[in-house]
Structure 1
Amino acid sequence: MNLGCDTLLNVNIVKPLTSTGPILFRRYTLVHSENDNDLYLTIATQYGSDPIKYDEVYGQWAWVDGDVHVLTLFVLIGYESYEVSKARYELLLNKLPNDVSAIINGDCKFLEANQNLMDSHVSMRFISSHDDFNKTVYYCRVKEFIV
């Protein structure tokens, strides 16, 4: 899948998940190539990296109530100095729109099969030892990123 700006998205869905379900335990790992021209999205029941790595975006669907879910994404900012954490946080903020788009559009058949998720919020959890960067932000709704 081409996301524009010469970015190529490679998607791998790992069984027992399919392109249309299930919602719960559907976990995303988004990895950037070294030059950021290629993105690799793995959709599986477990995250693709252990331990969690910097500059990778992880996510999963969280059930809220009834038919309401939230797509919760998270990134590791880290535990280094304030300056290093700030630089990493700002870099990830700049990449965030493209990363969210890659995850949502990389799983487009799933979203087509589960229309109730289109109004779901996308939250981004930044994990850091510094309070300025250790936070959760409600970023957008899924339907705002469908190409």
Structure 2
Amino acid sequence: MSQFNPSKLHVHYMMPATSYEPVVGRKYTLTHSDKTGDLFLNIGTQYNLNAIDKKNKDEVLAGWIFQEGRYLLKGRVYVTSGEFNEQLSKIRFTIFQKELSLALTAIIYGDRKFYFYHPYLLDAPIYIQFESSLPEFHRLMYCGTPRWYLLTA
């Protein structure tokens, strides 16, 4: 797994989102550069679709929701809808699993001021949906809490 380097993280707030609001509907778009290793985090009320690499589809998308009486951070990564064969889908799935901790650290660390205003979210669960048309790679994974990622950043 890659090591998180805060100096490689570039954060951009997309209005009307700020460092303290909104909670519900707050969305994260995390992309990266394979060449430089830089991570780009957009925080807004919508995903930054312009930042997404439509060919590779290797971004991490996440957002805060209120469900069944509790807040949770729910995200997704895209494995395949059939355009990638099983071997390539397995490679994508494995890479996402390997790098997910780095991605979540970047998202949580990049929005760390937000938790100053909303400390009750530090222990909210994080779930990531691996989206795939192949059943073996389509799964929902529990990935800890924001507190865990802030402590390990």
User: Which 4+ residue blocks in structure 1 deviate beyond 6 angstroms?
Assistant: none
1:25 maps to 25
Where in structure 2 are there 5+ consecutive unaligned residues?
none
| Distance change >3 Å, CA 7–CA 74, structure 1 → 2 | farther
| Distance change >3 Å, CA 61–CA 100, structure 1 → 2 | same
Percent of residue pairs bearing the same amino acid type: 31
Q: Is the 8 A contact 1:71 1:121 kept in 2?
A: yes
Distance of 2:133 and 2:105 partners within structure 1: 27
The structure that is helix-richer by fraction is: 2
Distance of 2:107 and 2:47 partners within structure 1: 14
- For residues 41-81 of structure 1, what are the alpha-carbon distances to aligned partners after superposition, in whole Å with 9 as ceiling and x for unaligned? 00011111267841100000010244x21111101001221
Distance of 1:44 and 1:22 partners within structure 2: 9
1:35 maps to 35
- Does 6-15 or 102-111 show the bigger shift? 6-15
| TM-score, length-scaled by structure 2 | 0.87
The count of residues paired between Structure 1 and Structure 2 equals 144
CA RMSD across the alignment: 1.9
Distance of 1:108 and 1:72 partners within structure 2: 17
Distance of 1:88 and 1:37 partners within structure 2: 18
- What code does the residue aligned with 1:76 have? Y
Where in structure 1 are there 5+ consecutive unaligned residues?
none
The structure that is strand-richer by fraction is: 1
- For residues 103-130 of structure 1, what are the alpha-carbon distances to aligned partners after superposition, in whole Å with 9 as ceiling and x for unaligned? 0010001111100100101101000110
